[in-house]
Amino acid sequence: MATSPIICFYHYIMKSTRRYCCDGSDEYDGKTRCNNTCWEAGKATRDKLMEKNALHRDGVAIRKHEVQQAKVSAAKDEAELSNLKNEEKIFKGIVQQLKEHKERIEEAVEKERIQKEKEEKQIKEAGESESKEHKDEEKNDAEEQEHVKDHNVEEQESVENNDNEAYNLGFHRYNLAFISQHMSLLLNTWLMVTKVETLITVICLVDDKSQFYHS
């Protein structure tokens, strides 16, 4: 293997005092003889190329390994993706079932709520009706009690009036008896006074007559 080619200008090549090719093949008309140093000159280049080839081989091996690993990872990812898609289908089915179950529950809850509101309304109406009847009964009882109370008041007033009349009658009778007794006492007193006056008059007359006879 020779060295790498060198780009040279023409006026450099035409000068016999300068040699650029390791084997002297660049000399004009071949008049100048040079030692062939191409093998030694190309050793460094060969070493670099060998290193480069080795590096390339290693890179190719690594690339093949990475590609193989990528294929394995891709296959694994594909399998995992397929499993995920299957799980997605299963989960979608479960979600749909749960959604339908949720809708059935909500429908049942709504029906129960409507039924409960209906029952509460009926209970409320029944309670209001019962309350109204109870109020009517209380009103009737109150009116009846008021009537009885008025009747009792009237009876009480009548009794009180009768008691008052009886009391007044008794009081009048007592007054009459007291007045009668007082009048009787006054009459007796008057009679006694009259008798005393008459007696005094008689005594005076007798005394006068006695004095007349003595004179």
pLDDT 10s digits, 112-125 = 889 988 888 888 88
User: To which residue do tokens 């059935």 refer?
Assistant: 104
Contact 20, 13 (CB under 8 A): yes
As to burial, measured by CB atoms within 10 angstroms (0-12 exposed, 13-18 middle, 19+ buried), residue 42 is middle
What pLDDT, in 10s, does the model give residues 154-172? 666 666 666 666 666 666 6
Report CA torsion sign: 201, 207, 209, 215: negative
Q: What percent of the chain has pLDDT over 90?
A: 9
In this prediction, residue 62 has a pLDDT band, given cuts at 50, 70 and 90, of very high
pTM attached to this predicted model: 0.33
User: If we measure between CA atoms, which residue out of 10, 11, 27, 31 comes closest to residue 19?
Assistant: 27
Per the CB < 8 A criterion, the answer to whether 28 and 16 are in contact is yes
More confident residue, 19 or 139: 139
Q: Tens of pLDDT along 5-58? A: 555 554 445 444 444 566 556 555 556 566 767 777 778 888 889 999 999 999
